[in-house]
């Protein structure tokens, strides 16, 4: 879960806070030599990035070295962060849901590979591949079910009603559980999937999912303040912020509680990390069996994992390979808060970083790197994996690969033309150039396996899925296709938008010249061009300004988007009907030809919006 100002931003910036994509290299903060030096360096990062406060735990296998706070839990009231300050941990919630299910598997009460239709038959799933490839519990835990991410009306609870039962929550919008490709092939982060996972816990145990997590995880680990049903007015809960100097963001409850409702502290989450370092052991028993914990840590159902990429999203635990040392863990993001816990696969160190602002994600990364390097300051980073490959054997991977695992289907209208990547051989080395981004070298790790230069091990594989050549990574899946259709589409969209934007100005200029020279004018077509352009701009302009929470209700802003999306094709029809009149009015062949181009541009854009389902879009029912 992640708070964004607008729906468009939420899609394009991927409102999960998880490190699935290829982030920029971290700032090289000096490695601290002592705990005091770590605290000073961490305080500097908070000051430089403008994040009010942080709860941090530094964990070793023999215990927590330090758990505490830096900065302010409440910037205005000057309430400091301490080890027990509660933060909203967002998607870190998913680790606990997945672990509870693995515990049930360990107890023989369910099968992780069982179809959802057997475990929760009353939860609707629209799967065209159901006969041969049902959606299994493991798929939702690894985000490979093919579900869309959450739709607007299943995000926020906007009244004071008590939390609805998960069965009712899942009935709000089954459309997000429409399977978009064969399950178990592509990873696409989906919060609704984890709501289904929470419902599975309830179906198996006949008890609320959070009660099971409390009993099986929180109580054994002495985490009494950690909760999935925390009060938003709890005085221990930090204020969340979205910028350097503004007021706290509103505290909103979420519908999909298993996906992101966890409240926890640095101290308590540090105790959870300590258990992970000890292979599930706590005191004189185990919270989870070591073998089952190991199985949680690596993906098994993506095309990349099948091809040999070990990094990725397992059962609620994700591997990060672009820090100085490999890390397992999870990140989280929700209104006003960013969070991460991580631990070394070598089981020697781990850390927790909880922040109460979303405006500076780089702070989370820098603090994670700082904690990791401090804890491992006496150990050299591991060598990066690589092998020598003859350049001639690399040429078969060249081509254009278009992204085919969208997280949010609705905003593909924007994301699809911006997606894709070109792989080419240059000076004996493969390089990958995403659209609108610089090229990055690909370092060979094994046959068909590659990594980016800053990564420690393989992060992508060239492989074949159902006869289709693909480039697959932990969180992306791109199919090799001819480049020209997408190049033509991008050029056409760019030209159409330019024509639509210029048309009213050209019409004004033509009318001014025509009147000065006593020539025929184009009539009212310039006004229609202006109205059509405004309607088109309103669809996206309103969406970029209205809070996401209001898109899930029939608010004035959401209804304005609907009205604009209905008005635009109607105005386009008028433009198309009026365009032949420009020829008959004798306005000149140049302007008449321009009018025909504008009509074609509007018609093309209307068709493009219709293809992606944006004509007559009701965001509150989508």
According to DSSP, the β-strands at 440-446 and 429-434 are antiparallel
Does the pLDDT at position 202 exceed 90? yes
Query: What integer pLDDT is reported at residue 584 of this predicted model?
Result: 67
429-470 confidence digits (pLDDT tens) = 999 999 999 999 999 999 999 999 999 999 999 999 999 999
Query: What integer pLDDT is reported at residue 284 of this predicted model?
Result: 84
CATH number of 391-481: 2.40.128
Helix, strand, coil percentages in the chain from 3-state DSSP, rounded to 5: 40, 20, 40
Rg (C-alpha) for the chain, rounded Å, is 26
pLDDT-derived band at 15 (thresholds 50, 70, 90) equals very low
Q: In this structure, how many other beta carbons lie within 10 angstroms of the beta carbon of residue 392?
A: 9
Does the pLDDT at position 258 exceed 70? yes
Angle between helices 525-545 and 556-584 (to 10 degrees): 160
Q: Is the dihedral of CA 579, 582, 583, 587 positive or negative?
A: negative
What class does CATH assign to 54-72+86-375?
alpha beta
Angle between helices 589-611 and 556-584 (to 10 degrees): 150
DSSP 173-203: -GGGGB--S-TTS-----HHHHHHHHHHHHH
Average pLDDT, the chain: 92
494-547 confidence digits (pLDDT tens) = 999 999 999 999 888 877 876 777 676 667 788 999 999 999 999 999 998 988
Q: In this structure, how many other beta carbons lie within 10 angstroms of the beta carbon of residue 518?
A: 6
Query: What integer pLDDT is reported at residue 274 of this predicted model?
Result: 98
pTM of the model: 0.93
Mean pLDDT of 296-306: 96
Does the pLDDT at position 8 exceed 50? no
Q: In this structure, how many other beta carbons lie within 10 angstroms of the beta carbon of residue 484?
A: 9
Does the pLDDT at position 236 exceed 80? yes
552-605 confidence digits (pLDDT tens) = 999 999 999 999 999 999 999 999 998 888 776 667 788 889 999 999 999 999
């Amino acid at each position: 879960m992640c708070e964004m100002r607008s729906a468009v931003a939420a899609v394009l910036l991927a409102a999960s806070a998880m490190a699935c994509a290829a982030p920029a290299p971290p700032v090289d903060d000096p490695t601290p030599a002592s705990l005091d030096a770590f605290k000073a360096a961490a305080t500097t990062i908070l000051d430089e990035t403008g994040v009010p406060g942080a709860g941090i735990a530094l964990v070793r296998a023999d215990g927590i070295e330090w758990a505490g706070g830096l900065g302010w839990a409440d910037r205005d009231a000057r309430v400091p962060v301490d080890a027990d300050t509660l933060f909203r941990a967002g998607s870190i919630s998913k680790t606990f849901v997945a672990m509870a299910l693995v515990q049930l598997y360990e107890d023989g009460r369910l099968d992780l590979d069982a179809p959802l239709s057997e475990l929760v038959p009353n939860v609707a799933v629209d799967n065209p591949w159901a006969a041969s490839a049902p959606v299994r519990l493991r798929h939702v835990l690894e985000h490979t079910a093919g579900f869309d991410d959450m739709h607007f009306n299943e995000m926020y609870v906007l009244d004071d009603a008590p939390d609805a039962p998960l069965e009712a929550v899942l009935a709000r919008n089954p459309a997000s559980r429409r399977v978009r490709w064969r399950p178990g092939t592509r990873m696409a982060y989906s919060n609704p999937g984890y709501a289904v996972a929470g419902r599975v816990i309830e179906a198996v145990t006949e008890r609320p999912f959070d009660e099971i997590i409390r009993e099986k995880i929180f109580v054994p680990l002495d985490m009494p303040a950690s909760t999935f049903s925390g009060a938003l007015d709890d005085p221990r809960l930090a204020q969340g912020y979205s910028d350097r100097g503004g007021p706290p963001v509103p505290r909103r409850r979420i519908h999909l509680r298993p996906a992101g409702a966890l409240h926890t502290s640095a101290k308590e989450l540090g105790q959870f990390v300590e258990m992970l370092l000890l292979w599930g052991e706590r005191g004189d028993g185990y919270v989870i069996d070591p073998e089952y914990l190991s199985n949680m840590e690596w993906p098994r159902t993506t095309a990349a994992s099948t091809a040999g990429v070990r990094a990725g999203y397992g059962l609620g635990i994700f591997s990060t390979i672009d820090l100085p040392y490999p890390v397992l863990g999870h990140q989280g993001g929700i209104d006003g808060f960013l969070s991460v816990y991580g631990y070394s696969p070598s089981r020697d160190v781990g850390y927790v970083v909880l922040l109460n602002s979303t405006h500076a994600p780089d702070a989370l990364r820098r603090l994670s790197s700082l904690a990791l390097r401090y804890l491992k300051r006496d150990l050299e980073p591991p060598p990066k994996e690589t092998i020598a490959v003859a350049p001639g054997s690399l040429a078969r991977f060249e081509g254009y690969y278009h992204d085919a695992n969208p997280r949010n289907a609705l905003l593909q209208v924007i994301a699809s033309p911006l997606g894709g990547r070109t792989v080419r051989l240059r000076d004996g080395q493969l390089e990958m150039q995403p659209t609108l981004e610089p090229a990055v070298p690909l370092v060979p790790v094994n046959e068909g396996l590659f990594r980016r230069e800053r990564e420690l091990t393989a992060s992508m594989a060239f492989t074949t899925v159902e006869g289709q050549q693909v480039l697959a990574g932990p969180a992306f899946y791109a199919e090799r296709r001819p480049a020209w259709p997408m190049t033509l589409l991008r050029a056409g969209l760019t030209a159409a938008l330019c024509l639509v934007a210029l048309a009213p100005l050209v019409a004004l200029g033509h009318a001014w010249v025509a009147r000065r020279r006593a020539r025929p004018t184009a009539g009212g077509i310039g006004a229609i061009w202006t109205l059509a352009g405004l309607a088109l701009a309103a669809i996206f302009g309103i969406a970029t300004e209205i809070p996401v929470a209001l898109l899930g209700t029939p608010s004035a802003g959401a209804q304005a988007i609907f009205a604009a999306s209905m008005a635009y094709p109607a105005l386009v029809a008028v433009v198309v009907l009026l365009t032949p009149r420009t020829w008959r009015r004798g306005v000149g062949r140049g302007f008449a030809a321009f009018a025909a181009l504008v009509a074609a541009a509007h018609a093309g854009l209307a068709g493009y919006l219709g293809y992606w389902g944006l004509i007559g879009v009701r965001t509150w029912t989508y």
